[in-house]
Amino acid sequence: MRRSAAGYLILATALATAGLAHAALAGSDGETPAKAPSHVEKTFLIPSSDGYGVGECLTTPDSACGQVVANAWCEAQGYAAANSYGVAAADEYTGAISQPIASPSERPIRITCRD
């Protein structure tokens, strides 16, 4: 029985495609569960004079509105909730401005959000 060159080409292409698919699937055995994404956290620095008037809530420890405002900020940024909030420490933002920040009320506010 005689086969044409086109028939061999189709057969070779099918075998090569099957080999590539097998190689791509070889990394997963199908029984090991996929790894869950790692816990995602992001810290935002907000100017204390942002114009919303919520700086006092976020800078006063144990304020009634602080956690609510921080959670709302995180949800607006696409995160689930806030882990922590407060006045940012000097080492949490860059010293790009050569003048020192005089008072804590002028320092940025830090909100750390989590997924």
Residue 90's pLDDT band (boundaries 50, 70, 90)? confident
Residue 93 pLDDT: 74
Residue 105's pLDDT band (boundaries 50, 70, 90)? low
Residue 114 pLDDT: 95
Residue 10 pLDDT: 65
Domain segments of the chain: what residues? 41-114
Residue 3 pLDDT: 54
More confident residue, 98 or 74: 74
Residue 63's pLDDT band (boundaries 50, 70, 90)? confident
CB contact set of 110 (below 8 Å; sequence gap of 6+): 43, 44, 45, 46, 84, 85, 86, 87, 88, 89, 92
